[in-house]
Structure 1
Amino acid sequence: MQILFFVMAVTAGYLAGYHWRDDEASLPHQLEQQQLALDAQKARVYELKIQVVQLTQRQKIDDAAIDEVRNLLKEQQQASLELREEIAFYRGIVSPSEVRSGILIQRVELTPLAAAQLFHYQVVLTQVLKNERVARGEVEITLSGVFEGRAHNIPLQDLDQQAKKLLKFRFKYFQMFEGDLQLPDGFSPHSIDVVVKPRHSNNSINESFPWPRLAVEEKI
């Protein structure tokens, strides 16, 4: 009986050792399989990173293309607006039946510049073609507004160092006055007042142009 138990124990030990050696022998294969799986995962991660980079670049390209189209559209709209303004401008000169005769304040424009309270201004005077004489005279441009809680008027010459003390005009069809004006701190403008005083005439032309409508940040 003891011999039988001994034989059974030896046999069990042998079989256990055999299976352990079998598992031990398969470890390199399992490790190799795990390494292959890990390498495959790394390759997939790298591939996904490449796709992310490509998609990001494509998105940037798409965004750039959209911005380019938007800028082009904006330029075309601006060009169309300027063309319509030029047509209206010259129509006012060559079509005296559509406008009153004599000198006209055709246009007053303000464009904000980069610096705070700094604007570029344009004042255009015209005369219809049926007047063959050369128009002469003086122009007074004044900014009206509020300063320190009180109504306050500032001559253009005080805001534009390049402007002459006396703005004179001499033209047959049209003349433009333009420059840059710097508003003082604390001054809140309400309007630009233009007075045209033709020579040899007691009839001056007075027009007031509201500031909020003029000082638009961007034309559409």
Structure 2
Amino acid sequence: MSEQRKPAEEYVVVRHRPGHRIRRTAILLIFTLVAAAAGYATGLAQGGFRFSSTQESNRALEDEVENLREEFREARQQLINLERGKAIDEQALNQARRTIVELETRIVSLQSDLTFYRNIMAPSETSKGLQVDSLTLAFDRAQDAYDFKLVLTQVGNNKSYISGVVAVNVIGLRDEEKEVIALRDLSEDIEDLGVKFRFRYFQDVEGSLVLPEDFEPIEIQVVAQAEGQKSSQAERTFRWDQLTEN
């Protein structure tokens, strides 16, 4: 009696790809972080910082900061785990590092925003009412002009609007003589000598300015005058070299 033959065993050849699992994990991590950041940015763009109360505003900002901190901690731990692997994909590692840098930058920005709004709604006794909060300048080489952003704030009592005008003058030297030039004469974005404002919490005044070739700027003087029941004046002078040192 012949012995029954067993069917031949079949073998499947699988290509060995070192680092595939780690690379896949890194990519999933990156997409998760990017999606979280994009979701936050979308919510911020749609809703903006709209205040219903001091507590709700501070709580919302603190929650966002804490969420980003948690994502940062998780991403950093994942990065440590990936770095310990022997078959790590360099591209995935570099992308993870860039994502962590972006999260760190976003956290710093949120903390700055949180400080800004806390100062508006919980000020010291010496800084209440209309304030000239900040002025920034950024040189645009393509246009040979300076982009400016002036921020006015109402600190403390934000229950009602504050309105008035703000005047901005650039003080400098022309032919070794002191000269004061109104922002209106340097910027096409400003039509009046005094820029009108009306806000509850803060208002930005933005545009670009071009200096005369023979004019050497020294400082910028900002004078804001509130009208009506909240009549008050806020004045602040900014040194040109400090505004443009970066």
TM bracket (short chain): 0.5 to 0.7
Q: Mark the CA change 1:151 to 1:198 in structure 2 (over 3 Å): closer, same or farther.
A: same
Match for residue 166 of structure 2?
139
Q: Out of 142, 145, 166, which is 1:118 matched to?
A: 145
Match for residue 61 of structure 2?
none
1:198 aligns with 2:226: yes
Q: RMSD between aligned alpha carbons?
A: 3.0
Identity rate, percent? 30
Q: TM-score, normalised by structure 1?
A: 0.60
2:219 and 2:238 in contact (8 A); partners too: yes
Match for residue 8 of structure 1?
none
Q: Mark the CA change 1:205 to 1:111 in structure 2 (over 3 Å): closer, same or farther.
A: same
Q: What is the rounded CA distance, in whole Å, between the counterparts of 2:176 and 2:102 in structure 1?
A: 41
Aligned ranges for residues 1-220 of structure 1 at < 5 Å? 79=106, 81-97=108-124, 100-115=127-142, 117-165=144-192, 166-200=194-228, 203-217=232-246
More helix by share: 1
2:171 and 2:218 in contact (8 A); partners too: yes
Q: What is the rounded CA distance, in whole Å, between the counterparts of 2:98 and 2:173 in structure 1?
A: 38
Q: Mark the CA change 1:145 to 1:131 in structure 2 (over 3 Å): closer, same or farther.
A: same
Q: TM-score, normalised by structure 2?
A: 0.54
Q: Mark the CA change 1:82 to 1:142 in structure 2 (over 3 Å): closer, same or farther.
A: farther
Q: Mark the CA change 1:70 to 1:96 in structure 2 (over 3 Å): closer, same or farther.
A: same
Q: Mark the CA change 1:101 to 1:149 in structure 2 (over 3 Å): closer, same or farther.
A: same
Give structure 1 stretches of 5+ with no counterpart: 1-63
Q: What is the rounded CA distance, in whole Å, between the counterparts of 1:70 and 1:148 in structure 2?
A: 52
Q: What is the rounded CA distance, in whole Å, between the counterparts of 2:114 and 2:143 in structure 1?
A: 33
Residue 122 (structure 1) shift:
0.6
Q: What is the rounded CA distance, in whole Å, between the counterparts of 2:136 and 2:233 in structure 1?
A: 21
2:221 and 2:238 in contact (8 A); partners too: yes
Deviates more, 1:168-177 or 1:91-100: 91-100
What do residues 150-199 of structure 1 show as CA deviations (whole Å, max 9, x unaligned)?
11111101111121213001011111100011111021111110001111
2:162 and 2:200 in contact (8 A); partners too: yes
Match for residue 30 of structure 1?
none
Q: What is the rounded CA distance, in whole Å, between the counterparts of 1:162 and 1:140 in structure 2?
A: 14
Residue 96 (structure 1) shift:
2.6
1:129 and 1:173 in contact (8 A); partners too: no
1:122 and 1:177 in contact (8 A); partners too: yes
What do residues 112-157 of structure 1 show as CA deviations (whole Å, max 9, x unaligned)?
1123751110110111242422101100001011111111111101
SS at match of 2:173: strand
Which entry has the higher C-alpha Rg, 1 or 2? 1
Deviates more, 1:67-76 or 1:196-205: 67-76
> What is the one-letter code of the residue matched to 2:165?
E
Residue 75 (structure 1) shift:
5.9
1:89 and 1:106 in contact (8 A); partners too: no
Q: What is the rounded CA distance, in whole Å, between the counterparts of 1:69 and 1:92 in structure 2?
A: 35
Give structure 2 stretches of 5+ with no counterpart: 1-90
